A and B are shown apart, each in its own frame.
Chain A
Amino acid sequence: MDTLNIAGKSYNSRLLVGTGKYKDFAQTRAAIDASGAEIITVAIRRTNIGQNAGEPSLLDYLPPEEFTYLPNTAGCYSADDAVRTLRLARELLDGHKLVKLEVLGDPDTLYPNMLETIKAAEILIKDGFDVMVYCSDDPIIAKQLEEMGCAAVMPLASLIGSGMGILNPWNLQIIIENAKIPVLVDAGVGTASDAAIAMELGCQGVLMNTAIAAAKDPVLMAGAMKKAVEAGREAFLAGRMPRKLYSASPSSPTNGLIG
């Protein structure tokens, strides 16, 4: 069985999805069901005080018993804020250790601040967290994060929410070839072919949110992404034919031609 293995646990789905930007919780749930994702990211935010106590919450639609929650540190610009957020997440989710660390460096591009990310990763790993880390597609940084003890490295394909696809497949390939821990593409996927390319490169998985949530039909796109990730994975395992400018070997027999 070809499974995604992260921090000692196996998953059948290699597609990880976010839960933000959907029209409502019902659509969130429908899209996640269509994606087949087992790991879903959530953000940690201040609870609304004194507003509709009976109002449904994300957790009512996506019970933590059914999914592996991956709390993130979206919106954090310092190591301290990220660590604080994930400690609250661990308390919120009954001691849950698997987290997505991202420390941003700039509000316009949402590009990661790797100095702060590394600082936070160090503290979190010491504190017993299994850290899946959003990072730049720098092979040296990715290796350092692995050596520190991160559970997975998640380089960006392109900027968060940009839908620009994989802009530097060569760097990704170097990261994948050198890695002993799972490499997942996180951020930048725009459509199904982007996810397939990431998997064909040998990524262990793909994490996305906007590509599904901002599609005209998010549920249909979620299904497309599921197939793309599966197809890309199978193509990677199958091993593609070598690229040649032209081939003197046609697929049909050269003998028995009429005339």
Chain B
Amino acid sequence: MIHLTINGNPRQFDVERLTVGELVETLGLTGKRLAIERNGEIVPRGHFADAVLNSDDKLEIVGAVGGG
């Protein structure tokens, strides 16, 4: 079981191993333009597939919205 905090909310994933890429897919965000920060460090899009998540990682997943 992997425990993560995603955008401030606790989430659990019943798997042994989870990469950022797999997480994006699981959350239904594949193909969306987004940026991800893990524990304060940006995970470059090119590294999604090999960035393995650890329990208690804190993730921020952001996108562009309307603003002035």
A10 at interface by CB-CB < 8 Å: no
Q: Once the chains bind, are B68 and A209 in contact (CB under 8 Å)?
A: yes
A49 at interface by CB-CB < 8 Å: yes
Q: Which of B28, B33, B68 contacts A41 (CB 8 A)?
A: B68
B15 at interface by CB-CB < 8 Å: no
Interface hit among A50-58, A167-175, A197-205, A228-236: A50-58
Which A positions have Cβ atoms within 8 angstroms of B? 18-22, 28, 41-47, 49-50, 53, 57-59, 69, 71-72, 74, 84, 87-89, 91-93, 160, 208-210, 213
| CA distance in complex: A72, B68 (Å) | 7
For B, the interface residue count at a CB cutoff of 8 angstroms equals: 26
Q: Helix, strand, loop or mixed for chain A's interface? A: mixed
Q: Once the chains bind, are A49 and B34 in contact (CB under 8 Å)?
A: no
Q: Once the chains bind, are B29 and A53 in contact (CB under 8 Å)?
A: yes
Q: Which of B8, B32, B67 contacts A47 (CB 8 A)?
A: B32
A-contact 0/1 string along B16-33, CB 8 Å cutoff: 000000000001110011
Closest to A72 in B: B67
Across-interface contacts of A210 in B (CB, < 8 A):
68
Q: Once the chains bind, are A84 and B37 in contact (CB under 8 Å)?
A: yes
Q: Once the chains bind, are B63 and A19 in contact (CB under 8 Å)?
A: no
